[in-house]
Amino acid sequence: MKTSLNGAGLNARGLGFEGFVELAARHGFDGVDFGLGGAQKLAEERGGVEAVRDLLAEKGVAPAAFGLEAEWRKDEEAFASGLAAFREKLPLARALGADRCTTWMPPSVNEDLGAWEAQTVRRFRQAARALGDHGVRFGIEWVGPRHLREGEGAMGAHPWIYTMDGTRALIAQIGEPNVGLLVDCYHCYTTGIGGDEIARLADDEIVHVHVNDARRGVGPDGARDGERVLPGQGEIDLADFLRGLRAAGYSGFIAAEVLNKEPIAADAETAARTVRESLRGIDL
């Protein structure tokens, strides 16, 4: 598996695509989780995609995964216009060799569940086909923490899909060959998925991976989404998680996504170095 630098908790918003790639290179990451919009802006500033390719090659950093820049959770007009704008950026993804795109699903919603799911399947199918036209795989992430799916603070009134099996069933409904999972150890932990279940996945089912940790003493039901800690500092059995990925034959990128109210460090340089050290601590 290869490491990718994710921007969560880094204080890196002002760096731009070029600065983020350089940050990843300085600290020994193999790739970056990025936004196509940032890469496109750099291409426009530098006179074309060749300059962006040259930057990645020079720094030895791969474009690991980018986000779905089409707001599929809102009204039809917002989705249609967002997908149209996103389609225009996809030739850039192909030119850069960026072949993995991801999004996440809310674990509870306020809408009628049947109508919401049908809409989601249709929109994900449209996105998957647009991505597939450019050789890009589409990874869907379930969100597991209990506080986001039930009780005060839930994202919606009706619990929806928040498990790996539920996500795989949704993927089967979408029916496109380039759709798979974004597997996050936090969401595995909060929904009872261990290394044995992950090991039963095929490599082509896993599009991208996030790793992080849960605060000690809270347990799966008490683990809150915005209270993650660095890999190896909490109570998730990351050795078991990684064993499962290796047994599944996963050969892609893994990124530390440390979502927390507090940044990892006061500056991006220190934060990136700290993240890389934490990954080395779990043999990545």
Residue 13: predicted pLDDT: 84
Cα distance between residue 35 and residue 40, in whole Å: 9
Half-sphere exposure (Cβ direction) of 140: Cα atoms closer than 13 Å: 29
Local mean pLDDT, 10-residue blocks, the chain (284 residues): 97 92 98 97 95 97 98 96 97 97 98 98 98 98 97 95 98 98 98 98 96 97 97 98 98 97 96 98 98
> In 3D, which of 132, 121, 210 has the Cα closest to residue 171?
121
Residue 45: predicted pLDDT: 96
Domain ranges of the chain: 2-281
Residue 284: predicted pLDDT: 97
> What CATH class does 2-281 carry?
alpha beta
> In 3D, which of 81, 207, 239 has the Cα closest to residue 141?
207
